[in-house]
Amino acid sequence: MDNKHRKKKNTQHTEVVRVKLPRSNEMFGVVTLMTGGSRLQVDCEDGKTRMCRIPGKFRRHIWVRAGDYVIVKPWEIQSDERGDIVWRYSKIQVGWLKRKGYLKNL
């Protein structure tokens, strides 16, 4: 078999070594609705629903679906209504965050 037809090995690890946590002006959120045009409706941990966008430098690197856990950075203007998606967590990382107690409010 040549390299073009070789199967890829599963490189998913069972233990998470490093998980990105929100900084001072960021928070956890859960995507509830995809509205199109890289815009998403997100329920944030402070109890507010924000219309968030995926910034241009992440647009092709982050694939987000409804139900995904993300880090949201609220805008300086309209901070209660709008925000940017900074990070999306994998299923393994969400499990780790729940076990450690970071996702109690969601």
What's the pLDDT tens digit per position in 29-63? 999 999 988 899 999 998 999 999 998 878 888 88
Owning domain of residue 56: 21-100
- Residue 10's pLDDT band, with cuts at 50, 70 and 90, is low
Number of domains in the chain: 1
Residue 106 counted as domain residue: no
Residue 86 counted as domain residue: yes
Residue 8 counted as domain residue: no
Q: pTM above the 0.85 mark?
A: no
Q: Tell me: pLDDT of 13 over 70.
A: no
Amino acid sitting at position 44: C
Instruction: State which of 1-5, 14-18, 47-51 shows the largest mean pLDDT.
Output: 47-51
